[in-house]
Structure 1
């Protein structure tokens, strides 16, 4: 009995020591989190969407360390935010995804009094445009915008590229690249068929799916970032890309050209800065968003990335260096006027789009 008692006491002591160690470790973690509260910022954004030099300058000017995670689609980003597995401080989703985040109470209103650079330098037209998905105008600072278009290689394509239908031509078999994204892929046949890219009609969506399945034997690859590499190297003749990728691609390969708005219509998108509901460093988040709207920072970021910006100060700073690419970076009104933007269609339609896209990929 005494032996059992001694063994019990030893076991109890061991458990208490382990608990004490965890307690001390927890205290250290808590202290570190409190310490980090003043000098860290967790950012979750698209890949290749922030200049490293700009991030470094923000860190040097503010003393705030930026921890950056990246995603390749809105759909891969959303579950991490919805599940609350990570407490990010700043996100950069697209229009319809911002709408979804607002709808599901996953982001918080911004304090625009802490965003003087945003109020001064971001075009009021884009703040108005953003009300299509941020209806109260409380959650978003527009960051980049553009269209979804067709990049093509003039050595491999010798005809006008003004229609999405070229992506269904047999002569380009195994030389066509499509976006690996339900909304961006399904949008293309919807526009060919004359339907809205925000349709909720299941028959129309199924017709778009059937077109994509019929196109599949012609497609070399469905991708995201790798589409740029394949176009730049001449591995493919045509690819569906975002307009912001066009300038750097054309600089990398002079045989490439870009059609920003096929005649059937396309998506005009806006990506914007938002702050998640569970952000721990809200003050730092506001500092970062406002920093990104500063004229010199917006210009430096644009010059490296090439994505069109709603910052009204940038064109004057970079126009001379852009030369022939100025209309790609700052397209004339006829390119985007009257075009649709994606809307959040609700959970049921989200699931239907995903289901139909999976059917394309497995068939």
Structure 2
């Protein structure tokens, strides 16, 4: 039996663009320039702009981080937004004028944002947290030429969640999501990639490069009558688990930990077939209005990391959830459109 690590809140403890006069590239009207994070060439970055706006997936960390960082650096104002799905912040970046300084997110949307030129390079090598980050993470997926565009805070998983009142021990296989005994008590994510990758694992395939898409589609078609609902926001999924409306299904490791904070009878496990793994990382969007404060916050946040990775098992088969090839992504989207349209 695999058991999930203990987790509590203590693990988290351990507009207008800023402008300057000068000759820096990217001049705006009236002879002013917009600073970017890489204009920070010495540590610490000074002077801080006095304001910060950040978006994160973790509400407990957000509450603590906002208050702590504002107090530590005597900022005039801070604001944070806790999002349910990455499209919420991604859409704002694409629309421009977003007013966001830092986004705390995972690898797949970071790779998408990087491909769409929505992120600023970071002055990573002068940041105090740099040495620790490079010692723990492979940064190649966040690199373009010699520049680094994201710095990971921690690894995280997309494992199988189960209700402790129903299961005496952790289920050993993703196959439990196809078990008729749990008809109407199964939840799945309304996401082509996540759900198709689970079906790929269930059918014994590489979730990042499967060979039999028909087998994946057939598995999801067979499962569909058993599914209570397909969630788009992890907060909706949490509510279903907390109310014990559903008993089993995929949910992010972090969201499971939040459920545990709320005393829900839920744990996570890594089935024998493995699961998807990703990074929770910090990025600074292009046009961040407070770039020096953003750089300072990223370095500060990297040293307030989630520490549950220390209890992970070397026996787990983890597949990194990076951006898929166009062919695989398109095939997954086609399958999911058919499943959800049925």
Residue 208 of structure 1 pairs with residue 216 of structure 2? yes
Aligned to 1:343: 322
State the 1:348 CA deviation. 6.2
Residue 162 of structure 1 pairs with residue 142 of structure 2? no
Residue 48 of structure 1 pairs with residue 73 of structure 2? no
2:245 is paired with a residue whose SS is coil
1:189 is paired with a residue whose SS is helix
Q: Deviations over 1:77-122 (max 9, x none)?
A: 4333234252422122311222222223221210125521x22544
- Is contact 1:95–1:343 with CA below 8 Å preserved after alignment? yes
Aligned to 1:219: 227
Aligned to 2:310: 330
1:42 is paired with a residue whose SS is strand
1:188 is paired with a residue whose SS is helix
- State how far apart, in whole Å, the 2-side matches of 1:329 and 1:342 are: 17
User: Which structure has the bigger radius of gyration?
Assistant: 1
State the 1:346 CA deviation. 5.1
Residue 263 of structure 1 pairs with residue 275 of structure 2? no
Query: CA distance change for structure 1 residues 165 and 293 in 2, over 3 Å: closer, same or farther?
Result: same
Higher relative contact order (CA 8 A, sep 6+): 2
- State how far apart, in whole Å, the 2-side matches of 1:49 and 1:187 are: 29
- State how far apart, in whole Å, the 2-side matches of 1:205 and 1:271 are: 29
1:51 is paired with a residue whose SS is helix
- Is contact 2:193–2:329 with CA below 8 Å preserved after alignment? no
Query: CA distance change for structure 1 residues 199 and 80 in 2, over 3 Å: closer, same or farther?
Result: farther
**Number of residues of Structure 1 aligned to a counterpart in Structure 2:** 293
- Is contact 2:209–2:328 with CA below 8 Å preserved after alignment? no
More helix by share: 1
1:276 is paired with a residue whose SS is coil
Q: Deviations over 1:156-184 (max 9, x none)?
A: 23565010010010110111111222222
Aligned to 2:77: 65
Q: TM-score, normalised by structure 1?
A: 0.71
Query: CA distance change for structure 1 residues 254 and 44 in 2, over 3 Å: closer, same or farther?
Result: closer
Instruction: Trace 1:4-153 onto structure 2 (pairs within 5 A).
Output: 38-46=49-57, 48=59, 50-62=61-73, 63-84=75-96, 86-116=98-128, 118-122=129-133, 124-126=135-137, 128=138, 130-134=139-143, 138-153=148-163
- Is contact 1:189–1:211 with CA below 8 Å preserved after alignment? yes
1:257 is paired with a residue whose SS is strand
Query: CA distance change for structure 1 residues 265 and 211 in 2, over 3 Å: closer, same or farther?
Result: same
Q: TM-score, normalised by structure 2?
A: 0.75
- State how far apart, in whole Å, the 2-side matches of 1:145 and 1:162 are: 22
Using the TM superposition, name which of 339-348 and 92-101 deviates more. 339-348
Q: Deviations over 1:184-214 (max 9, x none)?
A: 221100111222222276xx34532332232
> Structure 2 unaligned runs (5+)?
1-33, 36-47
State the 1:233 CA deviation. 2.7
- Is contact 1:64–1:284 with CA below 8 Å preserved after alignment? no
CA RMSD of aligned residues (A): 3.0
> Structure 1 unaligned runs (5+)?
1-32, 303-307, 310-327
2:254 is paired with a residue whose SS is helix
Aligned to 2:282: 273
